Amino acid sequence: MDTILVVNAGSSSVKFQVFAVDGEGRLQREIKGQVDGIGSRPRLRATAATGDTMADRAYPIESVSDVPAALMLASTWLREELQLGPLAVGHRVVHGGPDYDRPVLIDHGVVARLERFTALAPLHQPHNLAPIRTLLARFPALPQVACFDTAFHRGHDEVADHYAIPRRLHDEGIRRYGFHGLSYEYIAKALPKVAPEIASGRVIVAHLGSGASMCAIHGGRSVESTMGFTALDGLPMGTRTGQIDPGVILYLMTAKGMSPSQMQDFLYRDCGLKGLSGISNDMRELLVSDDPRASFAVDYFVHRVSLHAGMLAAALQGLDGFVFTAGIGENSADMRARIAERLGWLGASLDQIQNTRHAPRISRADSRLPLYIVPTDEELMIAQHTLSLLWNRHSNSQRERAS
Known catalytic residues are 149
CA 10 to chain centre: 12
DSSP 8-state secondary structure symbol assigned to residue 100? -
Burial class (CB in 10 A: 0-12, 13-18, 19+), 375: middle
62: CB partners within 8 A, 6+ apart? none
- DSSP per residue over 18-61, as a string? EEEE-TTS-EEEEEEEEEE-TTTS-EEEEEETTS-EEEEEE--G
Rounded Cα distance, 65 and 148, in Å: 26
Contact 343, 311 (CB under 8 A): no
Is 237 within 8 Å of 210 (Cβ atoms)?
yes
* Secondary-structure percent of the chain, ordered helix, strand, coil, rounded to 5: 45, 20, 35
Q: Which of 184, 114, 123, 174 is nearest to 149 (CA)?
A: 184
Contact 317, 219 (CB under 8 A): no
Q: Which of 73, 78, 92 is nearest to 6 (CA)?
A: 92
From the number of C-beta atoms within 10 Å of its C-beta (0-12, 13-18, 19+), residue 253 rates as: middle
DSSP string for residues in 180-208: -HHHHHHHHHHHHHH-HHHHTSEEEEEEE
Residues 6+ apart with CB under 8 A from 386: 4, 6, 88, 89, 90, 103, 145, 147
